[in-house]
Amino acid sequence: MKFSRQAESIRTSKILEAAAEINLRNQRGEEIDNLTIGDFDSRIFPVPEALAEAVAAAYRDRETNYPGATGMPRLREAVAEMLKRLCAAPVRAEDVLIAGGTRPLIYALYQTVLDAGERVVYPVPSWNNRAYAELAGAEAVEVEAGADNNFMPRAEQLAPHLGEAALLALCSPQNPTGTLFAEENLREICELVVAENRRRGSGKKPLYVMFDQVYWALTFGGAFRHPLALCPQIADCAVFVDGLSKAYAATGLRVGWATGPRDLLAKMSSLIAHIGAWAPRPEQVAAGMFLEDERAVDRHLERFRERLSARLEAFHEGFRELKARGRGIDAIAPQAAIYLSVKIAAKNMGDEELRAHLLNEAKIGILPFSWFGARDAKNWFRLSVGACRRARIPEIIARLDGALGKL
């Protein structure tokens, strides 16, 4: 069979393929700890009870019609108020666009601001930007970020590439690394974008910047800063993508939102409407009700961060012990999200071979940073705790120790 050039060039995510392989092997009787997925085991991390009840109530109340192109007004207002309260971001309800998760919003943004052949700049390792660039027919310009800066790009690394770019795509906290921008670094990048658009002037297409911030509420130690709070001048060219999926363990509810310039959001909304990528109306109604309840939101986030941080810290401490024993392993201290950046060195073994060895010998699944576009991050892996029970971590560390001892 023959397909379009675009269909021929796009392949299924290796991350999803790895998760499917582990699920199949577990179904066949193996006991593998799946530390690959950017999702949650709902038996361990259920959605907040108040949110679940609100969803059920919305279905009972027959809130089952089309939700409108831009989203339900109550939810847009609730998102704006939450961002003002928790992020000091000056957002209004009319500057909020709702969609069926963050993916349609990212796709729509790429399609809205990029013409075929134009450049999109993004750091690696990072999640899925290459696929979105291919779908838009854009030229991907990848900037390698290193462990010396927690795999976050520096302003001076990005600067040489911005003059010819149409879009700068950033993510903080970062997937796959679980790290985030330092405040001064973020401010400098925002100022770079503002300066570049001032250089271009009003007659030229601006440099747009996307901030994927879907993990911001899962930052440990209160270190997250919203770009609008640091550099308000960036508002005219910046789109911020967020949603329920990560902060509320609600990946299946498919409610995401973008904030940004109203004219740009209107174009994104038209595209989303044509592909029918609205968030379901019952989930929108429920999300609006839930986000209005400040006590419920704060209580959930505080407890959720504690549970995730405890798991990440337990892994980090275990890796420190293995490092002290000469196992050639290291990790960056947990900063945010559900991920840990882990370095596992093995002589005469590449990352793909090491991944397979750990899967077969230690019965754990982790993902190499090369799967996230990194070329120079040999031996670095992403570990996710979204499906991990706290009590299993010592056993996982012991099995890892045994598997590395065989090398």
Residues 120 and 269 in one domain: yes
Residues 391 and 379 in one domain: yes
pLDDT band at 346 (very low <50, low <70, confident <90, very high): confident
- Diameter of the chain by CA atoms? 63
Q: Is 80 exceeded by the pLDDT of residue 377?
A: no
Residues 27 and 74 in one domain: no
Compute how many other C-beta atoms are within 10 angstroms of the C-beta atom of residue 76: 24
Q: Residue 249's pLDDT is what?
A: 97
Do β-strands 165-171 and 119-124 pair in parallel, antiparallel, or remain unpaired? parallel
How confident is the model over 370-388, as a mean pLDDT?
93
Residues 98 and 223 in one domain: yes
Residues 246 and 343 in one domain: no
Compute how many other C-beta atoms are within 10 angstroms of the C-beta atom of residue 156: 11
Question: Which run of H or of E encompasses 155?
Answer: helix 155-162
Q: Is 80 exceeded by the pLDDT of residue 286?
A: yes
Q: What is the CATH number of the domain that holds 126?
A: 3.40.640.10
Residues 230 and 334 in one domain: no
Q: Is 80 exceeded by the pLDDT of residue 312?
A: yes
Please check whether residue 311 is in contact with residue 385, taking contact to mean a CB–CB distance below 8 angstroms. Answer: yes
Residues 205 and 307 in one domain: no
Question: Which run of H or of E encompasses 316?
Answer: helix 294-324
Q: What is the 3-state secondary structure (H, E, C) of 189-230?
A: HHHHHHHHHHHHCCCCCCCEEEEECCCHHHECCCCCCCHHHH
Q: Is 90 exceeded by the pLDDT of residue 206?
A: yes
Q: Residue 305's pLDDT is what?
A: 97
Rounded Cα–Cα distance for residues 117 and 286 (Å): 41
Of 12-16, 66-70, 230-234, 349-353, the least confident = 12-16
Rounded Cα–Cα distance for residues 232 and 58 (Å): 37
Residues 225 and 311 in one domain: no
Compute how many other C-beta atoms are within 10 angstroms of the C-beta atom of residue 56: 12
Residues 165 and 136 in one domain: yes
Question: Which run of H or of E encompasses 139?
Answer: strand 139-144
Nearest to 194 by CA among 259, 238, 147, 139: 238
Considering the entire predicted model, what is its pTM? 0.95
Residues 13 and 69 in one domain: no
Compute how many other C-beta atoms are within 10 angstroms of the C-beta atom of residue 402: 11
Q: What is the CATH number of the domain that holds 305?
A: 3.90.1150.10
Q: Which residues share a beta bridge with 336?
A: 219
Residue with tokens 């991050």: 377
Spell out the residues 6+ positions from residue 65 whose beta carbon is closer than 8 angstroms to its own.
Answer: 281
Number of domains in the chain: 2
Q: Residue 347's pLDDT is what?
A: 78
Q: Residue 9's pLDDT is what?
A: 84
Q: Residue 229's pLDDT is what?
A: 94
Of 230, 260, 293, at which residue does a domain stop? 293
CA angle (328 as vertex; 326, 331 as ends), nearest 5: 115
How confident is the model over 183-209, as a mean pLDDT?
95
Please check whether residue 340 is in contact with residue 359, taking contact to mean a CB–CB distance below 8 angstroms. Answer: no
How confident is the model over 277-297, as a mean pLDDT?
97
Q: What is the DSSP letter of 285?
A: H
Rounded Cα–Cα distance for residues 398 and 363 (Å): 11
Q: Residue 14's pLDDT is what?
A: 85
Residues 142 and 278 in one domain: yes
Q: Domain of residue 302: give its range.
A: 5-46+298-405
Of 262, 293, 324, at which residue does a domain stop? 293
Q: Residue 326's pLDDT is what?
A: 86
**Mean predicted lDDT score pLDDT of the chain:** 95
Compute how many other C-beta atoms are within 10 angstroms of the C-beta atom of residue 390: 12
pLDDT band at 291 (very low <50, low <70, confident <90, very high): very high
Residues 123 and 246 in one domain: yes
In the chain, % of residues over pLDDT 90: 88
How confident is the model over 12-39, as a mean pLDDT?
90
How confident is the model over 94-116, as a mean pLDDT?
97
pLDDT, tens digit (0-9, with 9 covering 90-100), for 137-161: 999 999 999 999 999 999 999 999 9
Rounded Cα–Cα distance for residues 41 and 59 (Å): 24
Structure tokens at 323: 């490092």
Q: Residue 203's pLDDT is what?
A: 83
pLDDT, tens digit (0-9, with 9 covering 90-100), for 237-266: 999 999 999 999 999 999 999 999 999 999
Q: Residue 202's pLDDT is what?
A: 82
Compute how many other C-beta atoms are within 10 angstroms of the C-beta atom of residue 290: 24
pLDDT band at 342 (very low <50, low <70, confident <90, very high): very high
Q: Is 80 exceeded by the pLDDT of residue 273?
A: yes
Distances (CA, A) of 278 to 92, 173, 270, 274, 288: 20, 25, 11, 10, 15
Of 293, 319, 347, at which residue does a domain stop? 293
Of 330-334, 347-351, 385-389, the least confident = 347-351
Rg (C-alpha) for the chain, rounded Å, is: 21
Q: Residue 259's pLDDT is what?
A: 98
